[in-house]
Amino acid sequence: MNFLNASDFAGEKAWDALDLAVVEGASIRLHWTDKPYKWHVNDGKEVFVVLEGKVKMFYRECGETRHYMMGEGSLFIAEEGEEHVAHPQGMARVLVIEKMGSI
């Protein structure tokens, strides 16, 4: 058994990750960041959970860019092919579950 306090993980650069587990082809990673990611589309479903901080999640829907402010405990589920980008508002720690090898 392993125990981990997510608050103890701090990356050296934005979007550094601690690989926690692989479960039936899905990677579970703890990310630390203080800078936006990049617009991207996953080749499978992605579950994004804010553990600490705030993240403004931008996504495209019907050709329009929209956003949602996520706080601690907020979840975002991107279906395969949905374009999105995370913009932390300061420092954030997030848990990401996605198909192994996804961007």
DSSP 8-state class, residue 7: G
Question: Using CB atoms within 10 A of its CB, is residue 103 exposed (0-12), middle (13-18) or buried (19+)?
Answer: exposed
pLDDT classification of 34: cutoffs 50, 70, 90? very high
**pLDDT on residue 100:** 86
**pLDDT on residue 85:** 98
Q: What is the pLDDT of residues 48-58, one digit of tens each?
A: 999 999 999 99
Q: Which amino acid is at 46?
A: E
**pLDDT on residue 103:** 64
Return mean pLDDT, the chain.
Answer: 95
* Separation of alpha carbons 31 and 19, rounded Å: 9
CB 87 within 8 A of CB 35: no
**pLDDT on residue 82:** 95
